[in-house]
Structure formats: structure tokens, C-alpha cells
Amino acid sequence: MKRIAESTVRRLSLYLRFLEEFEAQGHQTISSGELASQGGTTSAQVRKDLSFFGSFGKRGLGYSVSALSASLREILGLGRQWNVIIVGAGKIGAALAQYKGFRERGFKVVGVYDTDSARVGRSLDGVHVKDQRELEGDVAKLKPQIALIAVPAEAAQPLVDRLVKSGVRAILNFAPTPLTVPKGVTLRSVNMALELEILSYALVNADD
Amino acid sequence: MKRIAESTVRRLSLYLRFLEEFEAQGHQTISSGELASQGGTTSAQVRKDLSFFGSFGKRGLGYSVSALSASLREILGLGRQWNVIIVGAGKIGAALAQYKGFRERGFKVVGVYDTDSARVGRSLDGVHVKDQRELEGDVAKLKPQIALIAVPAEAAQPLVDRLVKSGVRAILNFAPTPLTVPKGVTLRSVNMALELEILSYALVNADD
DNA sequence: ATTAGCTTGTGAAATCATTCACAAGACCGC
DNA sequence: GCGGTCTTGTGAATGATTTCACAAGCTAAT
């Protein structure tokens, strides 16, 4: 299949959110325009996004909420449980470990690791923090597909290398540093200070 | 001035990071190629990004690390302190309140608010959590330019409306829901579950 | 069965972002 | 001062994404 733009995948994910809300409200069908207004985009964009994957609607009618939800879940790979490990049990790692939103969407935290002995042994929402030396062994055993990185910037790249070597194929990085991964491994980064700097730029240039 | 793409601003922010590291290592000059290899981009991209704002290098030599750092800080509006409030003192709000990276880059947390009386009064890294009823009064007094939102999804939009009404012009949202703001207000969202879903998509479609 | 009223799916056009490619400078060594 | 070697700054070309615009398809009402 043709490569799909990340912006498209991101929007599909948003559409799914909204479809679930809509379904809970008992609606049966939804039009591209309604979907668009929630996601802050246009009806043409919605239709184009969906068209990459097939044809899901009925002309004149719109989309079946439940059928489209199911299709999007399928497309996004959410019909299953993903096992996730979190490395780094500081403030951010701990908050992530306890974040309910992950579990609700099929992402199960199966391990939390740290190097600091003061943190090892603590329990975070049912999962207790293990020593980072156990990482390789656990990855081999539990086969988590996704790792979240919440360690200091300087520890992040060596950690990524270890994770990749152990077979992790998808990484979400919260350390404020750019990382590199080999081809075949997907890396995404969330950098909160950077987001604030973009806001700072917007404030300073408010008169554009 | 011509409108600058967000992707450009994001990269400028990254370049600044490296420049600071590079400066700490005692280097005087840096070429667009060196800057690019750090940021995972190309030298042409670096030069193009900078060209929107002026001409900062010397042909044959590269860029003065300190001069370019200063220019980027100026462009990004980082030559000053920004006052930030955080609304929502749950796991994520608390982690944000204690995140050192913000302070280091000139973002000072001047208030943390929650509605839950069990959380009100707690101290998070020197700032203590206040009742959300004090929000409007404090915003009028402290004039924070930026608000971080870490409340449940359903509480987010009403909160945004209150913040905007009180004069906040930039918002960073961590609630997993799309929000709308009037023109003149900048909103950015960080949605962690969404990032995981994008990874999920990548894993399922690894063979593209 | 026809019409009226919606809404989809999709090429084509327009816009936006990145990469290319090269002239114009700048420094160094001789 | 001149030739050689870098590296910038930037139009032009390419590539990617979004928006437009409209034919085609479906439902409901009469």
C-alpha cells in the first residue's frame, strides 16, 4: 500500500475518539462534515483521509458510526492488546505508568524500570518498579512491542540502543533530546519544553 | 513578516538546543551540516529555516555559535521569563509542575490549581496547589501568559473558555480531547494516547 | 418512478514544504 | 594578490498535503 502521511494517521485517531463519543450518545450515522467540525478540519479532508483505506460511507447518508469505528480500530491496529514497558520511574515515568488513558485504549504497562535503587521496588498502580538490569531479560520474556522512555537526556540514546537490540520495534521518547534508531524501528518524541517554546514564538509574533 | 511554518519553528528550537551543547563544549563556529546532522535534517533545511529570519552565517566559515544562539533565542522569544500556570494537579499536572526542564528554559510556574479539595494545599516543588476558584483572580494579578491544562477531558473546554476570558493567550493542552480557542489565542495539544496509537499503526503496517 | 435533497469519493488544482544546485563570499597558504 | 577550498544564501525544482469542485449514488417523499 502507498505510504500514508503521519498527519493522516493522527487525524484517523482523532476521528475514532469522536466516533466513540458519538456512539455512546446513541447516534447511528455521521457525516464527514460532522466528523470534521469536531476534529478541527474540513469535510474534504476527512473523506480524503478515509479514501486512502477504502470506501466506508454511503452517499447521501454518511458513515455508520459503529462500522467506521471498527474499521478505524482495525486500520490503527487497536483490535488487540499492546504490551508496553516504561523506562524511567521519575516524575514523568511514574505519571505515565499510572495514566488511565493507556489501558483504556489497549496499551498495557507490563513493566517499569529505573536505575535508582530508591525507586526500585515501589509500586505504581499495580506494576512495581524493577531494576533496569532486568530489562533485557524481561523484554525477551514479555515481548513488549512498545517502550516509553522517561529517563534523563544523556541516558536516552544508550537505552534506545539496548531496547532495539532486545527487539523493541516502537519507542515513544519523553527525554528532551533527539534520538536515532535503525530502519525498521519507529521512534516518536514528545518534548514538552519544545512545545512551550513554540508557544513562546507564537506569543512574541502574535501580530502576524 | 511572512508566516513561518510550525515545522520550521520546531526545528529552530532544536537547533538552539544543540547550539547550547556545542557552546558548552567550547566550540566557536558550526556549519549548517553539523547542525543538521544533530537535528536529523539536512544542511539545506537548516539554511532555509534560518533564511526566513535573516542571514546569520559567514560563507566558507559557518555560524558563530554564540551569535546564532542569541539570535534564535531572540526569534523564539526566550530572552525573557514567561509565567506559566498549571491547571489540574493530578498525576500529569503534578509531574509538569515539578519538571525542571521548564524552569531552565525560562518558563516559571507561578500557580497550580485544582478543584479537588484533597489536592488543594499540597506543595509541588515550592508552588502550592490552590483552589480553582482562585484562578480568575490570580490570572488578573499574576498575568501568566501561558496555561498548561491537565484536567479530565470533559472539564477542558469550559476551562479553556475561562482562561481565554481572563486573558491567557497561549495554552498547552494535555487533556485527551480537541479544544477550540478564538483567534488570537494559540493552542497546542499533547496527546499521549494518540502518540501510542500512531506507533500502533506503524507496528501493524511495518512492511510498507 | 421521478424528483429533490443530501453526502460520498476522487481527480485536478492549489498551496505548502523540502531538496537541489550553484553563484557569491570568506578564509588560508603561498 | 591569487588559487584552492569551504560554506552560505537562495531561486528553481520537486515532492507532499490540502482544498476544490463535481459526478455519482443513496433515501425519502410524493
Quick one: pLDDT at residue A208? 65
Q: pLDDT, tens digit, for every residue of B50-104?
A: 999 999 999 999 999 999 999 999 999 999 999 999 999 999 999 999 999 999 9
B190 and A193: CB-CB below 8 Å? no
Same domain membership, residue A23 and residue A116 = no
* Protein residue nearest nucleotide D5, by CA to C1': B60
* Interchain pair B169, A194: CB under 8 A: no
Q: Domain span at residue A147?
A: 82-194
Does A119 share its domain with A50? Answer: no
Identify which of B113, B93, B116 has the alpha carbon closest to the alpha carbon of residue B172.
B93
> Are B45 and B89 within one domain?
no
Q: Find the nucleotide nearest A7 (Cα to C1′).
A: D17
Length of chain B, in residues: 208
Q: What is the pLDDT of residues B133-163, one digit of tens each?
A: 999 999 999 999 999 999 999 999 999 999 9
Domain count, chain A: 2
pLDDT in tens, A116-155: 999 999 999 889 999 999 999 999 999 999 999 999 999 9
Chain B interface mutation, best of A98, A174, A200, A207, highest count of B Cβ atoms under 10 Å: A200
Asked, for residue B203, whether it belongs to a domain, the answer is no
Region for residue A88 given its phi and psi (left: phi exceeds 0; alpha: psi -120 to 50; beta: otherwise): left
Co-location of B30 and B65 in the same domain: yes
In which order are the strands placed within the sheet that holds B29-30? B29-30, B62-64, B57-58
Q: How far is the CA of B64 from the C1' of D6 (A)?
A: 15
Q: Which of residues 47-76 of B touch strand D (CB under 7 A)?
A: 47-48, 50-51, 55-63
Cα-based angle A36, A40, A46 (whole degrees, multiple of 5):
30
CATH number of the domain within which B161 lies = 3.40.50.720
Are B67 and B88 in a shared domain?
no
Would you state the pLDDT for residue B58?
A: 94
> Which of B76, B107, B131 corresponds to the end of one domain?
B76
In angstroms, the CA B186 to CA A40 distance is: 14
Where is the domain boundary, B21, B42, B76? B76
Say yes or no: Cβ of B60 under 7 A from any atom of strand C. Answer: yes
C-alpha cell at A137: 531479560
The string of DSSP codes covering B14-55 is HHHHHHHHHHHTT--EE-HHHHHHHHTS-HHHHHHHHHTT--
Average pLDDT taken over every residue of chain B: 95
Which of B76, B109, B135 finishes a domain?
B76
- The fraction of chain A above a pLDDT of 70, given in percent, is 99
d(CA A175, CA B101): 10
Query: Residue B195 and residue B191: Cα distance in Å, rounded?
Result: 7
CB atoms within 10 A of CB A4: 16
Query: CA(B120)–C1'(D1) in Å?
Result: 76
Q: How far is B1 from chain A (nearest CA, A)?
A: 7
Percentage of residues in chain B having pLDDT higher than 90 = 93
A124 and A106, same structural domain? yes
DSSP string for residues in A94-135: HHHHT-HHHHHTTEEEEEEEES-TTTTT-EETTEEEEEGGGH
